[in-house]
Amino acid sequence: MSSGLIAVRAMLLLFCLWPLYSLASDAIRDRMEAIHQRFPVTALGEPLLALDALPEFYSHREYTLAWSRTEDRDALLEAIRAAERHGLIPSDYHYSLLATFAARTPDDLGPEARVDLDLLLTDSLLLLTSHLLHGKVNRESLEAEWTANRHAQRIDEIASQALETQQIPTLVDRLAPPQNGYQQLLKAREFLQSLQPIPWEPIVDGPTIRPGMTDHRLPLIRQRLIAMGDLMPTISLEEQVIERHYSDRLVAAVTRFQDRHGLDTDGLIGRRTLDSLNITPQEKLAQLDANLERWRWLPEELGDTHIIVNIAGFELRMIRAGEEILKTRVIVGQPYRQTPLFSDRIRYLVFNPTWTVPRTIMTEDQLPTIRRDPDYLQKLDFTVYRGWGADRERVDPDTIDWWLFSENNFPFQLVQEPGPHNALGRVKFMFPNEHDIYLHDTPARSLFSRSERTFSSGCIRVEDSFRLASLLLEGQDNWSREQINRTISSRELTKVYLKEPVPVHLEYWTTWVDSDGKRHFRNDIYGRNPRLIARLTEKPRTLAPDQARTD
């Protein structure tokens, strides 16, 4: 067949199909206009959800159909199935309805159904892209995001590129967080999935089981520890005979379990250890999914050198070029003065800081203490001022009748001078923020030995603060450890700015995998998991007609 005849036939085919494409384009344009007006829009009976990104997507392609290739449609279905491994729910992305059309081509459908299918496929792609990149739940409001309105333009571009370059098969792996912490959680999720069929009979409460004792609950405890990987299975006759005996081997397994769950590693099987042993794989899976979501909230780039504080794990880690160079314990805010979650940059250090006591702490904590112990202020090197700013006036605390003042009538400011008693210790790490939160040293060293460390008023106390200071100041103006020690010994307030501010991320992970591959679970100290889990399992919400725009 001549090339001229082929060209003529192509033109005839285009001429015949042009009314179809024109009708499809008009239909898509009308739907996008309805979305702009914030009217509920459905496709094949299901609501469209990516209300901000959908119009952008189709506008850039001049409202033409996007899903003519069977391979692309099949790849999207596979991507939705793969997203379940990340704790996302396939039904959120129209999976069941799209799967019913898997064996049909657009040519099998009428013009209206073809447009509907195209819109539904695009809606699924955009929403999945948004949830993988930024999370399903808004970090600030803790509301599920169904409109794909965060970074909508970028979501549109990424989805368009994936479709145009046939990269949908790799979509999930490319968009999910690449950090090792997230990837290790995916492996832990697979392990928890494997435990789902195992019966998880509750271990009854009773007296604390101590090493060497015999107890009827030990066979079930042994099975539980084997299932979770803390105890290697054994088939020896001796183990079968003495399985009700709390042997050294079983004590070691219990201690490993306690370490992974943030319990005192004393080998005693008491109430808290039993409670942790009774947490089902289903409950742990939901907890793990909540922490996968928290990973998706993080910035895509954490920083070549960065610090992560896990509030729920009471731990600070400093990472440089992918390697952990510091891990140290921290103390965080009490449940009624919770440490907030955010990312910022450490910009400078203060050696020998003073501590200006926040008003809430002055009136709620310090005032009752001063009333009980008149010498408290002098013993801990506090200076008292009447008023604030340049007009404040130093006052002798012995001349003040502290019983005359209250939370609503407290005209004083308390400032603790540098020294060994200072509540901030010898160094603080500053990343100025609206919460007035920072990292700092502390003289209260004994508290770091506690398994749960919620003792601060919101700021984060760092156990190995001098090591952290040394690492931050490496290679900067001869700030060696010796220079740091000399500066501290001087008791003079000294501020040192970093040449390169270091990112710091305050996070709340109740589940993680450490560098040795151990799966860790922690108590939800601030009670944040239930609401997040509820939002992650929430069904998509449609836009009500009364939410239509009036502008």
pLDDT one-digit tens code per residue, 408-422: 888 989 998 998 889
CATH of the domain at 272: 1.10.101
Residue 182: inside a domain? no
Question: What is residue 1's three-state secondary structure?
Answer: coil
pTM: 0.88
Residue 204: inside a domain? no
Instruction: Note whether 85 and 122 are same-domain residues.
Output: yes
Residue 550: inside a domain? no
Helical H segments across 3-46, by residue range: 3-36
Is the distance from CB of 77 to CB of 176 less than 8 angstroms? no
Instruction: Note whether 402 and 444 are same-domain residues.
Output: no
Predicted confidence at residue 8, as pLDDT, reads 39
Tokens of 194: 């494997």
Residue 28: inside a domain? yes
- Location of structure tokens 């050198």: 305
Residue 296: inside a domain? no
Predicted confidence at residue 235, as pLDDT, reads 56
Instruction: Note whether 45 and 116 are same-domain residues.
Output: yes
Instruction: Note whether 100 and 246 are same-domain residues.
Output: no
- DSSP notation for 258-327: HHHTT---S--B-HHHHHHHT--HHHHHHHHHHHHHHHHHS-S---SEEEEEETTTTEEEEEETTEEEEE
Instruction: Note whether 376 and 493 are same-domain residues.
Output: no
Tokens of 311: 């509030």
Instruction: Note whether 231 and 369 are same-domain residues.
Output: no
Single out the residue in 373, 389, 417 at which a domain terminates: 417
Residue 130: inside a domain? yes
Predicted confidence at residue 358, as pLDDT, reads 86
Predicted confidence at residue 14, as pLDDT, reads 38
Predicted confidence at residue 257, as pLDDT, reads 98
Instruction: Note whether 151 and 65 are same-domain residues.
Output: yes
Residue 268: inside a domain? yes
Instruction: Note whether 389 and 518 are same-domain residues.
Output: no
Which residues are identified as catalytic? 440, 459
Instruction: Note whether 65 and 151 are same-domain residues.
Output: yes
- Cα dihedral value 159, 164, 167, 168, nearest 10: 50
Cα separation, 435 vs 205, in Å, equals 42
- Helices 3-36 and 53-60: crossing angle in degrees, nearest 10, is 150
CATH of the domain at 310: 2.40.440.10
Domain of residue 164: give its range: 10-176
Predicted confidence at residue 454, as pLDDT, reads 96
Predicted confidence at residue 149, as pLDDT, reads 72
Of residues 297, 286, 265, the one with CA closest to residue 518: 265
Q: Mark the ranges of the chain whose per-residue pLDDT is less than 50.
A: 1, 5-20, 543-551
Single out the residue in 143, 160, 176 at which a domain terminates: 176
Instruction: Note whether 316 and 226 are same-domain residues.
Output: no
Residue 202: inside a domain? no
Instruction: Note whether 325 and 435 are same-domain residues.
Output: yes
Instruction: Note whether 227 and 99 are same-domain residues.
Output: no
Please state the domain count of the chain. 4
Single out the residue in 417, 435, 454 at which a domain terminates: 417
